[in-house]
């Protein structure tokens, strides 16, 4: 079906006869294939005398184009690359390989996730061929202490990738979100496999809304935006994927030496809730105060009645207080 999708990605009409010749199958088989295309949630239109088309076309991921957007250094850091059509989630796929052995340097991209998820198991709406769903695996000696602040640093890398694609308005929300005008554009999910005090592998998942179809809006349980809303031109999925993986790999290549300190000032300068009243939702209680940035380890600094209290990641969420 990938070849059929590639043909239809131009958004133009293609007759059943033309598609049959190109794919070497009957028109009846084409009809059955088009039902599978519709099952992906894509807007298929058929018109007598014209054939089939995908409304608006598709910007499909391409391994060759993706690699063209990587630096020489990043290309050398990738040990294994997978470009998938439909997966449960890229993080699940990456985690399975990390659990089976050393998967450091693995990069996975997918067109669609059927069970995409964010922090605390929340659903991440992941329709076909619209957004960016990516995961990487990287190994660290020194356990969880070596990855302190990493989710925030990855946020900085993701923002840099957006800037490379002409999007400069992205803000960062502690500990792992990308926002535009307080609307969620992307999220980061880190999972650790291995020895928490020794060698461990970090699965880094990133989801970014590029061109979320309106028909999926009702599936999202919070305010959201996508990059195409912020850009005069359509953001290329391969361009963004290449910029994102490039920035993250460059970050990972020496994070064990420099840590979050190198990225702290940049994170603070793009903090979506800097000096704003906020409410922290902890496991069994809430805390209210004024957000005062983060410390050298990436922990949130909360001003509670003039006293700075520090909170690390985990099950803490941050909501703007109204």
In whole angstroms, what is the distance from residue 299 CA to residue 309 CA? 10
In whole angstroms, what is the distance from residue 135 CA to residue 3 CA? 25
Structure-token pair, residue 313: 């990641």
Closest by Cα among 46, 43, 9, 11 to 30: 46
Q: Which residues of 36-69 are buried (b: 16+ CB within 10 A; e: fewer)?
A: ebeebebebeeeeeebbbbeeebbbbeeeebeeb
Q: How far is CA 154 from CA 67, 140, 266, 288, in A?
A: 20, 15, 12, 26
- To the query of whether residue 319 is one of the catalytic residues in this protein, the response is yes
- To the query of whether residue 119 is one of the catalytic residues in this protein, the response is yes
* DSSP, residue by residue, 227-271: GGGT-SSPPPHHHHHHHHHHHHHHHHHHHHHHTTHHHHHHHHHTB
Q: Phi and psi at residue 316, in whole multiples of 5°?
A: -90, 130
- To the query of whether residue 122 is one of the catalytic residues in this protein, the response is no
In whole angstroms, what is the distance from residue 70 CA to residue 143 CA? 29
**Catalytic residue chosen out of the listed positions 95, 184, 237, 264:** 184
**Catalytic residue chosen out of the listed positions 119, 160, 171, 173:** 119
Residues catalogued as catalytic: 119, 184, 319
């Amino acid at each position: 079906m990938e070849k059929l999708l590639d043909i239809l990605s131009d958004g133009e009409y293609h007759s059943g006869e033309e598609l049959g010749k190109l794919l070497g199958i009957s028109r009846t088989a084409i009809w059955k294939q088009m039902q599978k295309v519709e099952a992906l949630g894509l807007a298929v239109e058929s018109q007598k005398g014209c054939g089939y088309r995908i409304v608006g076309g598709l910007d499909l991921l391409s391994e060759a184009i993706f690699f063209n957007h990587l630096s020489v250094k990043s290309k050398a850091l990738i040990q294994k690359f997978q470009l998938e059509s439909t997966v449960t989630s890229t993080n699940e796929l990456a985690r399975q390989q990390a659990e089976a052995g050393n998967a450091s340097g693995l990069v996975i991209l997918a067109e669609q996730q059927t069970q995409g998820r964010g922090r605390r198991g929340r659903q991440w709406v992941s329709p076909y061929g619209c957004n960016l769903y990516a995961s990487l695996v990287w190994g660290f000696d020194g356990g969880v202490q070596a990855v302190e602040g990493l989710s925030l640093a990855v946020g900085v890398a993701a923002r840099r990738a957006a800037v490379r694609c002409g999007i400069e308005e992205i803000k960062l929300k502690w500990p792992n979100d990308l926002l535009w005008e307080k609307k969620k554009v992307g999220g980061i999910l880190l999972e650790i496999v291995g020895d928490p005090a020794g060698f461990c592998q970090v699965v880094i998942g990133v989801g970014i809304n590029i061109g979320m179809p309106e028909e999926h809006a009702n599936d999202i349980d919070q305010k959201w935006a996508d990059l195409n809303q912020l850009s005069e031109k359509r953001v290329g999925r391969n361009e963004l994927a290449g910029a994102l993986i490039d920035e993250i790999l460059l970050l990972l290549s020496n994070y064990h030496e420099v840590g979050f300190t190198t990225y702290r000032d940049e994170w603070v300068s793009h903090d979506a809730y800097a000096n704003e009243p906020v409410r922290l939702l902890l496991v069994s209680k809430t805390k209210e105060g004024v957000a005062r940035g983060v410390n050298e380890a990436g922990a949130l600094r909360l001003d509670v009645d003039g006293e700075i209290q520090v909170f690390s990641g985990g099950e803490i969420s941050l909501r703007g207080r109204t």
